[in-house]
Structure 1
Amino acid sequence: MEFFEYLTGKGGFMILALIVVVLFLYNKYKHWRYLKSSSKRKK
């Protein structure tokens, strides 16, 4: 339960924000790679 209390605290918010940023950057990178590979296919 201590871990859950930590997650709902300030430290947990920092971890949550970090996860959101990582997921956002990962999706952007994946999308960019997809666009790059699709543009190669068109040629």
Structure 2
Amino acid sequence: MLEHRLINPRDLSKIDLAFFNVNSAISVMVLVSILAGEFGRRLA
């Protein structure tokens, strides 16, 4: 859904940029979640 909001249906030239931005944000969130889980597990 977010990728669709980042591009204009008449101008698909930015579709690669939208795909990259969304995937990089999701990847960072997954990495932070994994690191937080590992850090929390080691403290417990």
Q: TM-score range by the shorter chain?
A: 0.7 to 0.9
Give the TM-score of the pair, scaled to structure 1.
Answer: 0.72
List 4+ stretches of structure 1 deviating above 6 A: none
Q: Indicate the RMSD between aligned Cα atoms, in angstroms.
A: 1.2
Instruction: Give unmatched runs, 5+ long, in structure 1.
Output: 1-6
Answer with 1 or 2: which has the greater Rg. Answer: 1
Instruction: Give unmatched runs, 5+ long, in structure 2.
Output: 1-6
Q: Between the two structures, name the one with larger relative contact order (CA 8 Å, sep ≥ 6).
A: 2
Indicate the structure with greater helix content. Answer: 1
Q: Number of matched residues?
A: 36
Instruction: Name the % identity.
Output: 3
